[in-house]
Amino acid sequence: MYNELILNNISKHIHLEADEQAHFMSLLQPLKLKRKQIHLYRGEVCKHSTFVLSGCMRGYTTDFNGFEHILNFAPPDWWIADMYSLISGQPGHITIDAIEETEVLLLSKADQEKLYIQIPQFERFFRIITEKSLVSYQERTLENLSMTAQDRYLRFCKRYPTLINHIPQKYIASYIGVTPEFLSKMRNDLLKQSK
């Protein structure tokens, strides 16, 4: 089943023959993470692209006052990494952890580079993934600068529909840049408006 999930993810962008699929799968390292277990610490070099099979992960940064600012989530069928660190080989700026018990597949940067030569379609696949990540981060920046909290919440609901009632509200509040209390009031107001 898990093989099917990641192979379907890849088939959205490239076609692989059976032997290419088998080779790709042989490079993946399964990993189970406990709830709240850190997968990548800020300041470490990100050495893997991580594909989520089950559970959910988040990428976040912590400011000088100790407040967490969630940058992205990775539910099942999503990839996550500190893209800056993975590409540059420099220490990263974000922490990645598991919100709940999570199973992932890791693809090392070294194996990813080898795949580009062995199966050239993977260069296209990871270019598309990287471009989507760049677009997502740019959208997030523009949302934070120009949208109201309500609009940011509605955009979150569209981007992560499976997470709305699945993850703690404090994480959603952090993602859209409001307090949990403000989010609760805003959700109640939206509920009243929809009636």
Please report, for the chain, the start and end positions of each structural domain, with discontinuous segments joined by +: 2-146, 147-195
Q: CATH class for domain 2-146?
A: mainly beta
Residues 6+ apart with CB under 8 A from 26: none
pTM of the full structure: 0.91
Q: What is the pLDDT of residue 2?
A: 66
Please name every residue paired with 104 in a beta bridge, in sequence order, or none if there are none. 31, 52
**Taking each helix axis from N to C terminus, what angle separates 169-176 and 149-159, rounded to the nearest 10 degrees?**
120
Per-residue confidence of the chain (195 residues) as pLDDT tens digits? Answer: 668 999 999 999 999 999 999 999 999 999 999 999 999 999 999 999 999 999 999 999 998 888 889 999 999 999 999 999 999 999 999 999 999 999 999 999 999 999 999 999 999 999 999 999 889 889 888 888 898 999 999 899 898 988 988 898 999 999 998 988 988 898 888 887 876
Please list the residues that pair with 48 across neighbouring strands.
108
How high is the pLDDT of residue 164?
A: 86
